Amino acid sequence: MAAVGGVNMLGPAVLPPAMSFTNISVSESPTLGTDTRGCENGALMDSFGIFLQGLLAMMAFSILMLKRFREPKHERRPWRIWFLDTSKQAIGMLFIHFANVYLSDLTEEDPCSLYLINFLLDASLGMLLIYAGVRAVSAIVEWRQWESLRFGEYGEPVQCTAWLGQCILYILIMMFEKVLIMLVLLIPQWKKLALLNPIQNPDLELAIVMLIVPFFVNALMFWVVDNFLMKKHRTKAKLEEREEDSRGNSKVRYRRALSHDDSESEGFSIH
């Protein structure tokens, strides 16, 4: 009986390994649940990310080509002028894009979500800052009468120095915009927004952040910014009309003056 009792006493002693197995399974589950990050650092510039960026660039370029064909025929820019206008915008957007990629990789959080926040701020608040910057620079250029720095005007024949000067001005505007957006991102609430649960599939999250959302937003952004850069080109036609009107008025005044002098001479000859 003692042996049987000993055997019965040994029975419960087998349970601790089962308990340890359950403990191991429970302890492993949180480690699997915590690793839900979609994008990793460097994912924006890997082969798949570069492919998506190149595809987005071609799609954005096609949008600008579509915009040119949508312009009225009497206002449609020649291909050379269109290329000079759009190249300035392309260089500025490349600067903003790579600045966002660099800033997104500086954090330990999900870089895709931070890139999306940067991009949406550039497309909303940044659009207003770009518009204000272009208007301010254009006002200074008109005040100083720097004809080669008027956006959209490159001289006849076309001068590369005029394009270079306008491109530098536009990049400075984009740098000013990006610095202000970086100051806005210092608000702690943006970091909390970036900590939202990301998409678990890294390729899907990268496609949404780098291609799908930017395509629709850039379609509007490129269209509007191109109108900003064309605005001085349109006002040039208005200025030419005003100059023609002023010249016509001056001729009328000159004729009136002559007629007045002639009348005086006629009056002098009568006397």
Identify the DSSP state of 201.
Answer: -
Specify the pLDDT at position 167.
93
| Extended strands (E) in the chain | none
Q: Which residues contact 87 (CB under 8 A, 6 or more apart)?
A: 163, 167
For residues 25, 30, 34, 35, the Cα torsion angle rounded to the nearest 10 degrees is -10
Cut 0.75: pTM above it:
no
- pLDDT cut 70: percent of the chain above it: 68
Chain segment 152-210, per-residue pLDDT in tens: 888 888 888 999 999 999 999 999 999 999 999 888 777 677 655 567 788 888 888 88
For residue 97, how many C-alpha atoms fall within 13 Å in the half-sphere facing its CB? 20
Classify 123 as helix, strand or coil. Answer: helix
DSSP string, 93-104: HHHHHHHHHHHH
Tell me which DSSP letter residue 153 carries.
Answer: -
Query: How much is the mean pLDDT over the chain?
Result: 74
Give the model's pLDDT for residue 197. Answer: 59
The rounded distance, in Å, linking the Cα atoms of 138 and 234 is 13
Is residue 132 within 8 A of residue 121, CB to CB? The reply is no
For the chain, the structural domain boundaries read 43-76, 79-197, 203-237
- 110 DSSP assignment: -
Flag the least confident range among 21-35, 145-159, 211-225.
21-35
61 to each of 162, 164, 195, 219, 223, how far by Cα in Å? 23, 20, 33, 10, 11
For residue 248, what pLDDT band results from cuts at 50, 70 and 90? low
Mean pLDDT of 9-31: 44
Question: What are the CA-CA distances from residue 63 to residues 57, 113, 208, 224, 229 (Å)?
Answer: 10, 26, 19, 12, 16
- 202 contacts 47 by C-beta, under 8 angstroms: no
